[in-house]
């Protein structure tokens, strides 16, 4: 008899097992049983073809209505039209004329493939299929390998749904009685089936209600396990002992506040207090600070860093890109003024040594910074991932500040942690508003603070959509507007989605051929690219203005020079990719034109436009797009234009993105254990799971009385660690 840990080659045969591993990373019975059906087709009912979505991998049960064989360009094309009685779908086979003898009008079968579009009609090209044996009753034929409800699995063309079904059936049949890690108290309270029954019912339901109940239980499992893991992490953090970082004489903080040209907002005062409290504790702070672009997070973080330096420790600020690290470096030096002592070795002056450490520094400079970090001369170091590289050691790292969490993984934070003598305090900043349930799951081991208000006196940003398709003349008007802005002494950003377009432009003929083959040719579609747009504008609409280009492929000293020149007003128009997305702060920039704006996500657009309207003049943002007026893209752009509420836009964004994008790669890997739980949808369930997890942990933090549950959590922990190792 097999257990959940049994490896698939032992029950399936090597070839099938290899395909399962290759297609879905499935290697054990447990993983196979957690490859859940997407939906169920009821025996005797054909699939509703009108509901199929483009790009979806589908398995449908349908009847062949017509078959046509024709020739084009020396190829044979077999076109089969299937129907569910109302809607139709065409299946296309190239150079497979021999299939004509099987695919006869009137026959019913299962067809699997990816829904594509050709000539405006949905189709499957080269679908995998299994015909119901001729003359047999459809119901009975399907009943042979499934019950009344035929599960439809996520499938690939190599591994269609019915093959998955056969594997699952073998696995279930060979499985012995398995222990249930969920405490009986919980299963009873919720009337959940036990684990084995849940697996059986979700894969081979006796009725849809039991299937749903099984699904509920397995979803709850995911939420509960995650909440227990996070709960244990919180307990671990609280169990760590570190140095409290409360300065005896907060000299730097006092000087800094004296020099600040503004007073804190109410939110900043509150968060400052909270952080002070956190830093005074004997276990490390783990705090997420969220707030709109411009809400003043960096100022709060800087105060915390100074406070740690005042108490004798060091602080690091990690930025997601070099441009941002450089900018933080400039801003911080500006705010610190005379307090900052840059690059001076062993100085006796009163103040703080601040350094910028990035991957592109010459080795000698890096080495010098490494030495001064190790001997404690440097108080604050700002940099990118390069900081985490080998060779960096601190004298006494007290605080890690991470800017823009969504580009940083948990594992990167951990990598820095091991460089400290005492576990450092951690402050993570993000401008992407995080919905409550995402905060509870993905960031569940962090405390959260939010800056809700922007500093007063902030000017508004007006956003307009420029629809090139509907009103081609408006684009010329937009460039005119740029000239006017520059004439007023202001500066302008122009953002494009690409650095350059692929060299190889497909000819009309090649595109036609690709279409004929049903191949993906969209990747070759041209978009506005910085390297093409800049010369166009410089010799055309923006002739005579001082134009510069900024993108990620440039050497970093060039990027730095360009950003410095732009902030000093030596450049009128900066044509850039999204490298300017987060944190770039040039108050004199008053206008932004975003080309092919529909290529960007809602939150990304919001972040981008946050670069303007940071000074005294109102910001203007133009979203240029070729999308048609009724398209979804255009609706998204209109939504961005209609509100400045970051939380509202984040909600719209999240609704449109896939869950995996929300959770970040580390949480959505092929082996992620969140298969059923939808963080955005299952709010009530997550609440319930968290409550339950806290209850369990409060009486038995190590789960000594629930060994099966403990083992399951341990597996999860190891899986997560393994995913980290895979990537590093």
Return residues touching ligand ADP (CB under 6 A): 262, 264-265, 268, 291, 293-299, 455, 585
| Partner in contact with 262, chosen from Mg ion, ligand ADP, none, beta carbon below 5 to 8 Å by kind | ligand ADP
441 lies in the site for Mg ion, by CB under 5 A: no
Quick one: CA dihedral 237, 243, 249, 254, positive or negative? Answer: negative
Question: What's the min distance (Å) between Cβ of 386 and ligand ADP?
Answer: 22
Nearer to ligand ADP, 90 or 265 (CB): 265
Burial 301-314 (b: 16+ CB within 10 A, else e): bbbbbbbbbbbebb
Number of residues that bind Mg ion (CB under 5 A): 2
Per DSSP, helices labelled H in 119-160 are: 138-145
Q: Verify binding: residue 294, Mg ion, rule CB under 5 A.
A: no
Give the nearer residue to ligand ADP in terms of CB position, either 118 or 262.
Answer: 262
* Contact partner at residue 320 from Mg ion, ligand ADP, none, CB < 5 to 8 Å by partner kind: none
Q: Which of 542, 541, 577, 543 lies closest to 562, judged by CA?
A: 577
Nearer to Mg ion, 205 or 583 (CB): 583
C-beta of 113 vs 583, nearer to Mg ion: 583
Encoded tokens for 420: 């400290």
Stretch that binds Mg ion, among 109-117, 293-301, 513-521, 589-597 (CB under 5 A): 293-301
Q: What are phi and psi of 540, to 5 degrees?
A: -120, -110
Q: Any residues with CB less than 8 A from the CB of 61 and at least 6 apart, and which?
A: 41, 45, 46, 47, 108, 109, 110, 142, 150
Residues 6+ away with beta carbon under 8 Å from 446 = 286, 287, 288, 428, 439
Chain centre distance of CA 183: 33
Under the criterion CB under 5 A, does residue 327 sit at the interface with Mg ion? Answer: no
DSSP label of 459: P
- Partner that binds at residue 291, options ligand ADP, Mg ion, none, CB closer than 5 to 8 Å by kind: ligand ADP
Judged by DSSP in three states, 610 sits in coil
91: alpha, beta or left, given left = phi > 0 and alpha = psi -120 to 50? beta
Tell me how far apart the alpha carbons of residues 55 and 629 are, in angstroms, rounded to a whole number: 23
CB 621, min distance to ligand ADP, A = 17
Residue 462 beta carbon to ligand ADP: minimum distance, rounded to whole angstroms: 19
Which is nearer to ligand ADP, 427 or 709 (by Cβ)?
427
- Taking the C-alpha atoms of residue 230 and residue 696, their distance in angstroms, rounded to an integer, is 13
With contacts defined by CB under 5 A, name the span among 85-93, 417-425, 579-587, 714-722 that binds Mg ion: 579-587
Q: Please pick, from the candidates 151, 583, 613, 646, the single residue that binds Mg ion as defined by CB under 5 A.
A: 583
30 or 450: CB nearest ligand ADP? 450
Cβ–Cβ under 8 Å, residues 450 and 458: no
Q: Name which of Mg ion, ligand ADP, none residue 268 binds, using a CB cut-off of 5 to 8 Å depending on partner kind.
A: ligand ADP
* Least distance in angstroms from the C-beta of 209 to ligand ADP: 49
8 A C-beta contact, residue 535 and residue 560: no
Residue 180 CB, nearest approach to Mg ion (Å): 48
Which residue matches tokens 């044509």?
575
Is residue 296 involved in binding Mg ion (CB under 5 A)? no
Tell whether residue 298 is a contact of Mg ion (CB under 5 A): yes
Tokens coding 577: 């990719």
CB of 321 to ligand ADP, least distance (A): 15
Work out how close the CB of 426 gets to ligand ADP at its nearest, in angstroms, rounded to a whole number.
17
List of residues contacting Mg ion (CB under 5 A): 298, 583
């Amino acid at each position: 008899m097999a257990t959940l840990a049994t490896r698939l080659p032992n029950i399936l045969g090597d070839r099938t097992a290899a395909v399962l591993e290759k297609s879905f990373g499935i290697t054990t019975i447990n993983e196979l049983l957690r490859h859940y059906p997407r939906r169920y087709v009821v025996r005797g009912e054909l699939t509703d073809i009108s509901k199929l979505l483009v790009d979806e991998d589908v398995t449908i049960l349908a009847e062949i209505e017509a078959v046509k064989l024709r020739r084009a360009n020396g190829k044979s094309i077999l076109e089969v039209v299937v129907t569910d009685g109302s809607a139709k779908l065409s299946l296309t086979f190239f150079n497979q004329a021999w299939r004509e003898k099987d695919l006869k009008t009137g026959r019913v079968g299962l067809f699997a493939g990816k829904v594509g579009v050709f000539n405006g009609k949905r189709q499957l090209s080269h679908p995998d299929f299994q015909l119901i044996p001729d003359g047999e009753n459809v119901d009975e034929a399907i009943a042979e390998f499934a019950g009344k409800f035929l599960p439809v699995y996520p499938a690939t063309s190599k591994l269609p749904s019915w093959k998955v079904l056969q594997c699952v059936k073998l696995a279930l049949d060979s499985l012995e009685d398995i222990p249930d890690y969920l405490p009986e108290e919980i299963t009873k309270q919720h009337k959940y089936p036990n684990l084995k029954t849940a697996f059986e019912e979700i894969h081979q339901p006796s009725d849809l209600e039991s299937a749903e109940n099984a699904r509920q239980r397995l979803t709850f499992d995911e939420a509960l396990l995650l909440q227990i893991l996070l709960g244990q992490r919180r307990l671990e953090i609280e169990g760590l002992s570190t140095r409290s970082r409360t300065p005896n004489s907060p000299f730097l903080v006092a000087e800094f506040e004296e020099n600040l040209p503004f007073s804190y907002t109410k939110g900043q005062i509150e968060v400052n207090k909270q952080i002070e409290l956190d830093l005074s504790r004997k276990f490390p702070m783990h705090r997420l600070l969220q707030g709109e672009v411009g809400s003043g997070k960096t100022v709060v973080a800087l105060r915390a860093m100074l406070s740690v330096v005042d108490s004798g420790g060091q602080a690091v600020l990690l930025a997601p890109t070099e441009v941002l690290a450089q900018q933080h470096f400039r801003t911080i030096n500006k705010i610190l003024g005379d307090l900052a002592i840059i690059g001076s070795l062993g100085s006796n002056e009163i103040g703080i040594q601040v350094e910028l450490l990035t991957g592109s520094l010459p080795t000698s400079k890096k080495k010098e910074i490494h030495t001064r970090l190790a001997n404690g001369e440097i108080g604050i170091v700002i940099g990118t991932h390069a900081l985490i590289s080998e060779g960096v050691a601190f004298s006494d790292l007290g605080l890690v500040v991470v800017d823009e969490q969504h580009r940083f993984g948990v594992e990167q934070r951990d990598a820095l942690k091991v460089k400290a003598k005492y576990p450092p305090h951690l402050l993570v900043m993000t401008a992407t508003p995080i919905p409550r349930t995402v905060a509870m799951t993905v960031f569940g081991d962090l405390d959260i603070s939010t800056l809700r208000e922007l500093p007063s006196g902030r000017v508004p940003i007006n956003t307009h959509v420029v629809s090139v398709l509907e009103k081609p003349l408006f684009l010329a008007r937009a460039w005119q507007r740029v000239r006017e802005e520059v004439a007023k002494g202001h500066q302008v950003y122009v953002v494009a989605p690409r650095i350059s377009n692929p060299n190889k432009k497909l000819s009309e003929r090649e595109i036609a051929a690709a279409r004929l083959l049903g191949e993906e040719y969209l990747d070759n579609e041209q978009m506005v690219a910085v390297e093409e747009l800049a010369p166009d504008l410089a010799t055309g609409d923006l002739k005579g203005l001082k134009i510069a280009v900024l993108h990620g492929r440039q050497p970093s000293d060039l990027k730095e020079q360009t950003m410095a020149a732009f902030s000093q007003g030596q450049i009128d128009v900066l044509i850039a990719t999204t490298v300017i997305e987060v944190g770039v702060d040039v108050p004199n920039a008053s206008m932004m034109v975003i080309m092919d704006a529909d290529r960007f996500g809602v939150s990304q657009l919001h972040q981008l436009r946050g670069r303007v309207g940071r000074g005294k003049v109102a910001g203007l943002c133009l979203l240029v797009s070729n999308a048609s007026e009724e398209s979804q893209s255009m609706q998204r752009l209109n939504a961005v234009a209609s509100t400045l509420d970051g939380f509202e836009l984040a909600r719209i964004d999240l609704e449109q993105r896939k869950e995996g994008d929300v959770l970040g790669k580390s949480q959505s890997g092929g082996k992620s254990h969140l298969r059923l739980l939808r963080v955005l949808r299952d709010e009530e369930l997550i609440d319930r799971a968290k409550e339950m997890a806290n209850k369990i942990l409060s009486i038995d933090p190590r789960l000594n009385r629930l060994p099966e549950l403990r083992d399951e959590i341990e597996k999860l922990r190891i899986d997560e660690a393994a995913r980290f190792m895979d990537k590093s």
